[in-house]
């Protein structure tokens, strides 16, 4: 078979591999294609998370390692390992080593949900944040605590109350409603964080940034931004927050 020129494939500019934690992946690809410019495609492997048990996290870690190798073999330009709990399941130091080791082994760029969000928070200058998360409210403290990995102080946090396997049913106004409520409670915050890239957040970013004059960083936005920039795509994209417009 004759190899086709790069210009004649859908991912002519970049093919982004992503290991997606939910066994049923829905929102991530939908918002991905709302944001990325023409010529960028998503290569996705769904992992094993349904209720986020330790067994599922361990299984997902193993699947993601295999998927990374297959994505590299398929010619992806970057592999993004999804899921902060999966990334950190064997320690923060190990998460950083995974990136270095896989890049050396696979000869392809590697990123993680954790490293992408850390890079985005640094670019935006996030310091004092409020956190809006989609899951059960009993998960709020744990999930909000991840902001500390990005060098931020958490002033307040809340949760929408969704079970993990129901996040595709969260309404688009949820992120806006939670963001507004937290900013009214914590007007000193300089940023709003939206952890988890698997619920609707894309439409909230510009709305809240303009309304409150703060940064908005969503996990989905950070992952896509980091992947595009590391693939050399510098397009300034309107409609999805300051991160895409200015950095």
33 vs 56: which has the higher pLDDT: 33
Q: Average the pLDDT over 164-188 and give the result.
A: 97
For domain 117-221, give the fold: Rossmann fold (3.40.50)
- CATH architecture type of domain 7-113: 3-Layer(aba) Sandwich (3.40)
**pLDDT for the residue numbered 50:** 85
**pLDDT for the residue numbered 54:** 84
Mean pLDDT check: name the lowest of 58-62, 123-127, 187-191, 223-227.
Answer: 58-62
pLDDT tens-digit profile of 67-117?
A: 999 999 999 999 999 877 677 666 666 678 888 989 999 999 999 999 999
> Which residue has tokens 């993990």?
164
3 vs 31: which has the higher pLDDT: 31
pTM of the model: 0.93
Domain range list for the chain = 7-113, 117-221
**Fold match between domain 7-113 and domain 117-221:** yes
**pLDDT for the residue numbered 49:** 82
**pLDDT for the residue numbered 99:** 87
pLDDT tens-digit profile of 230-246?
A: 999 999 999 999 999 99
């Amino acid at each position: 078979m004759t190899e086709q020129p790069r210009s004649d494939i859908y991912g002519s500019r970049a093919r982004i591999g992503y290991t997606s934690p939910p066994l049923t992946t829905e929102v991530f690809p939908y918002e991905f294609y709302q944001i990325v410019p023409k010529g960028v495609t998503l290569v996705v492997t769904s992992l094993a998370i349904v209720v986020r048990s330790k067994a599922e996290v361990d299984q997902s870690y193993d699947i993601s390692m295999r998927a990374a190798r297959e994505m590299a073999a398929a010619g992806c330009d970057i592999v993004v390992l999804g899921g902060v709990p999966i990334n950190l399941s064997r320690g923060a130091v190990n998460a950083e080593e995974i990136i270095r080791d896989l890049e050396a082994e696979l000869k392809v760029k590697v990123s993680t949900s954790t490293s992408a969000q850390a890079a985005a928070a640094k670019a935006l200058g996030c310091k004092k944040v409020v956190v809006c998360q989609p899951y059960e409210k009993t998960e709020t403290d744990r999930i909000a605590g991840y902001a500390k990995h990005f060098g931020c102080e958490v002033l307040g946090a809340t949760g929408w109350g969704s079970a993990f396997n129901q996040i595709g049913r969260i309404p688009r106004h949820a992120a806006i409603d939670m963001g507004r409520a937290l900013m009214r409670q914590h007007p000193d915050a300089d940023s709003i964080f939206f952890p988890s890239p698997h619920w609707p957040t894309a439409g909230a970013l510009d709305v809240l940034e303009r309304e409150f004059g703060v940064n908005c960083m969503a996990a989905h936005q950070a992952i896509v931004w980091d992947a595009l920039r590391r693939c050399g795509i510098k397009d300034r994209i309107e409609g999805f927050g300051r991160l895409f417009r200015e950095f």
